[in-house]
Amino acid sequence: MTHYRRITDEELEKIELAANRIIFANLPVVKKIYPRTEAEQKFGFRIYQGGAVPGLELRIVSIGDIDHQACGGTHVDRTGEIGVFKIVKRESVQDGVERVTFKCYLAAVRYSLEREKLIKQMAAELGVPENQLPNPSNASLKSGKSGASSWKNWPGRRRAPSSRKKLRRREKKAEPRSSFPAFPGRKRR
């Protein structure tokens, strides 16, 4: 993808949503062979966005009036066959060229499930609900501080007892628990 500057996270989100709207619309994907000069006159040089295509004839893949690309690869017959589109990575290849990596169909679903699992694990390790995980834009996180000092003043974290005495008091107040695991429909004692 050619772009005059780095694509922002907000722009990537818009791209992902737009791609999924097109997929969910289940539009026909038309593949047609054109003489090179006719294809260039009809669709312009944007057909080469994926790179130069050799030959005097070009196979043009079109999704309605949305996009037309010269391509020799295999393609679906309808956009709905793609299932889901998920951007997983963006990197700058060189000035003005960004590489966007994405997953589709079940690979996209698996990727999303893995990310969800990581978020749940992070929340459990920090002892907070998922919606209270620290914001990555937090200055202390950006500054590279790590360990306990970076979380010291984070309002969402659970506070550990400051002394053994407080911990012993909490333990005495806690109800004794059964050594048996809880079963569905049965409360632990």
Residue-wise pLDDT for 35-65, tens only, equals 999 999 999 988 888 777 888 999 999 998 8
Q: Count of CB atoms within 10 A of residue 102's CB?
A: 17
Q: Residue 22's pLDDT is what?
A: 95
C-alpha 13/C-alpha 74 separation (Å) is: 26
DSSP letters of 147-161? SHHHHTT-TTSPPPP
pTM given for the model: 0.64
Q: Residue 63's pLDDT is what?
A: 93
C-alpha 84/C-alpha 107 separation (Å) is: 9
Element (H, E) at 98: strand 97-104
Angle CA 90–101–122, to nearest 5: 70
- Which residues are paired to 133 by β-bridges? none
Q: Residue 73's pLDDT is what?
A: 80
CATH number of 9-104: 3.30.980.10
Reading the chain (189 residues) residue by residue, the pLDDT tens digits are 556 678 899 999 999 999 999 999 999 999 999 999 999 999 998 888 877 788 899 999 999 889 999 987 878 999 999 999 999 998 888 877 888 889 999 999 999 999 999 999 988 888 888 888 877 655 455 555 554 445 555 555 555 444 455 555 555 554 444 333 333 444 444
